[in-house]
Amino acid sequence: MTLATPPEAPPVLYALVPCAGTGERSGAAGPKQYAMLGERSLVAHTLAALAQVARLARVLVVVSAGDTQYPAHLDEDTMVATCGGAARAQTVRNGLDELLARGARPHDWVLVHDAARCLVRPAWIDALIDACLDDPVGGLLALPVADTLKSEHEGRVEATIDRRAKWQAQTPQMFRVGMLREALDAQARAGANVTDEASAIEALGHAPKLVACSMENFKITWPADFDLAARLLRTRT
């Protein structure tokens, strides 16, 4: 199915969910995106939230070529690309090529969201879109740092870091398809370890917009995170 739109059409918004990681730190028996949280897997919770954002034209899930588990966790009409890379940045980069091949244009927007950031709310995604739709760069959901920060050396405190103007990056992160593709290519040529899309955009000399979000929008990373996420889901209104 193509995603082509007329040349004069305004930018279209897509979501891209990298879903090719293994999540080794989570303690899950397999890839953490397929671990169950209540009656759904993490990625199923994530896709349910994205499906409620009316301005997203389509959602592309990027899985590894040898992934045999995803059909059990994704709806039949979910757009899937089996081109995941060894690292997140490569998975996203391959996913951008897939979007372009299916009719997306360089000036369209893509919202990249972690599969394991499964407590995201549609209202937060809409707030990001509202803040970035007319922005020349784009931006990301993020959380101002409230705790005192320490740097470490050999298991001991090396220094206390000023927390003022420090933010914890979250997702979605919303950028133009073409700009993000260029940024990821530049970082790949430099041999950089890109852990989020915003850092690649920053390396091009741009300043992504910070859009305040909730600490509830955390990424499940450690075994204890599953219990916390389950409690938060039970108490949602």
- pLDDT tens-digit readout, 157-166: 999 999 999 9
**57-115 pLDDT tens trace:** 999 999 999 899 999 999 888 999 999 999 999 999 999 999 999 999 999 999 999 99
Percent of the chain with pLDDT over 90: 82
pLDDT at 236: 80
Check pLDDT > 50 for residue 197: yes
* String of DSSP letters for 144-199: E--S-EEEEETTEEEEEEP-TT-EEEEEEEEEEHHHHHHHHHHHHHHT----SHHH
pLDDT given at position 222: 87
Q: pLDDT band for 26, please (50, 70, 90 cuts).
A: very low
What's the CATH superfamily of 13-134+171-205+219-234? Spore Coat Polysaccharide Biosynthesis Protein SpsA; Chain A (3.90.550.10)
What pTM was computed for the model? 0.91
Cα dihedral 121, 81, 137, 193 sign: positive
Parse the chain into domains and list their residue ranges. Answer: 13-134+171-205+219-234
pLDDT score at 27: 46
Q: Cα–Cα distance between 92 and 15 in angstroms, integer?
A: 11
pLDDT for residue 31: 81
